[in-house]
Structure 1
Amino acid sequence: MALKTITPKVSKADLAHLGAGELGYIRKMRADEVSRCFPEAPDIDPNLDLWALFGADGTPILLTDNRSSTFYKAAEDELRTVSLH
């Protein structure tokens, strides 16, 4: 007897809320990406290495040039972190 594959029905909205308030992700950003996620940010030197912390749903939380600061902020907000490459 063959096993039947069951695919759960999960909406995009459900996925967006997974980990909300519990999980954050950290990713390196280029200066030209900043205005899309952080529209209030000033012009940034394109040679600067930037790091951003986002909530599980993609909400921007922090932009910094210091990677350690993203982990500090996540810990302060009691978020478990993952890095995206």
Structure 2
Amino acid sequence: MSAADTTTIRIRERVLSILADELAHPGEPLDVYVPISALGADSLDAIELTMEVESELKISFSDDEWFAADMTAMQIVERVVAKVNAV
């Protein structure tokens, strides 16, 4: 496994952990394939999640790159991985 693969896996795990902490119901796994709005997130929650991920991973998204409530957790992970790889 390459260093890039390891980094991608760590980013994925960390982002999913942040999302699960905020969106999953206690004792239930995070469904990564449904929009976060279906998990109770609204547009303000999506912005707060964006800011939390930015802070945690030391990256920055422009306003048009922020997460949206209609995104799934996997789409968010893909966006974060792409951002980290672009740096």
Mark yes or no: TM-score above 0.5: no
Rg bigger for which structure? Answer: 1
Q: Which has the higher strand share?
A: 1
User: What's the TM-score once normalised by structure 2's chain length?
Assistant: 0.29
